[in-house]
Amino acid sequence: MDTNKLLEVQSVGKRFGGLAAVNNCSLFVEEGSVTGLIGPNGAGKTTLFNMVAGNFPPTSGQIFFDGEDVTGLKPFELFSRGVLRTFQIAHEFSQMTALENLMMVPAGQPGESLLTTWLSPGAVKSEEVAVRQKAEDVIDFLKLGHVRNELAGNLSGGQKKLLELGRTMMVEAKIVLLDEVAAGVNRTLLKDLAANIERMNSELGYTFFVIEHDMDLIERLCDPVIVMAQGEVIAKGHMEELRRNPEIVEAYFGAPVEVD
Ligand SMILES: Nc1ncnc2c1ncn2[C@@H]1O[C@H](COP(=O)(O)OP(=O)(O)O)[C@@H](O)[C@H]1O
Ligand SMILES: [Mg+2]
């Protein structure tokens, strides 16, 4: 397999009952790219992400990540290989500060293991210091320093999205899956969000796979863009080319776009 293909989906299908949500889809995401995924509601985009992130296995086909077959692996297994998808900030974290939210590092850290705590408490302490320092660095990178000690529940919708992005920086992510991260974010914060995605890509080498309804954001951030409709990949290219393709315009831009 071409080593540039960080993520490769081969003839993947997913049925719910008798209905195909994703039908024989093949696509790849090149390492270092910000690849877009667009298509009308119900096209199968989120279902595809769920399979890539391990939320459920495909009914057919295979998924490769970093050259290995990862079909059917669980979310935590994919997570430990560097596949991250963003989630809304969980409700239980609203009573923690922005900084503390970033410090909620997932399993796999020495501090998580009771055995390590018992055997070498010093390792846990230094791990905590390192995690706090990293969280501070991430907060600064995202230019959220002014709200570092604010409760996450008091942040604006856009600031929460930035924090969500920041959580992907706390671990060693190789690819970040963003599912409609811009929904409900005001224009100013949307620019911050886009700028941070660009910086994470260009300065830190993150690969992104982005589902988005906001076409301006897609055009600004993503190259290439993959188009899905009715469970299938129907096109891939630069956004500018896609806008001129009558088949795409018909399948997508022509149809009324509902934002869910
Ligand atoms: N858990 C599920 N059970 C049954 N049908 C589902 C489920 N998830 C998605 N679908 C169906 O699969 C199709 C694709 O949905 P989805 O992947 O959410 O599309 P998109 O994200 O492109 O809007 C839709 O027809 C949807 O109703
Ligand atoms: Mg969706």
What's the structural domain count of the chain?
2
pLDDT at 30 > cutoff 80: yes
Domain range spanning residue 132? Answer: 90-171
For 151, other C-beta atoms within 10 Å of its C-beta total 15
pLDDT at 190 > cutoff 60: yes
Ligand 1 neighbour 44 (Cβ under 6 A): yes
Instruction: Based on the fold, state whether residues 156 and 187 are members of the same structural domain.
Output: no
pTM of the predicted protein model: 0.87
Give residue 124's pLDDT.
Answer: 66
The closest-lying atom of ligand 1 relative to the alpha carbon of residue 39 is 22
**Cβ 182 vs Cβ 214: under 8 Å:** yes
Instruction: Based on the fold, state whether residues 179 and 121 are members of the same structural domain.
Output: no
CA of 42 to the centre of ligand 1 (A): 6
The backbone region for 69, taken as left when phi is positive above 0, alpha when psi lies in -120 to 50, beta otherwise, is beta
The backbone region for 35, taken as left when phi is positive above 0, alpha when psi lies in -120 to 50, beta otherwise, is beta
Ligand 1 neighbour 15 (Cβ under 6 A): no
Give residue 128's pLDDT.
Answer: 80
Instruction: Based on the fold, state whether residues 103 and 72 are members of the same structural domain.
Output: no
Instruction: Based on the fold, state whether residues 160 and 177 are members of the same structural domain.
Output: no
**pLDDT tens for residues 150-168?**
999 999 888 888 888 898 8
The per-residue pLDDT of the chain, averaged, comes to 87
**pLDDT tens for residues 112-129?**
445 555 666 666 677 788
Ligand 1 neighbour 47 (Cβ under 6 A): yes
Ligand 1 neighbour 41 (Cβ under 6 A): yes
CA of 113 to the centre of ligand 2 (A): 36
Residue from 82, 114, 88 nearest 101 by CA: 88
Domain end (from 151, 171, 191): 171
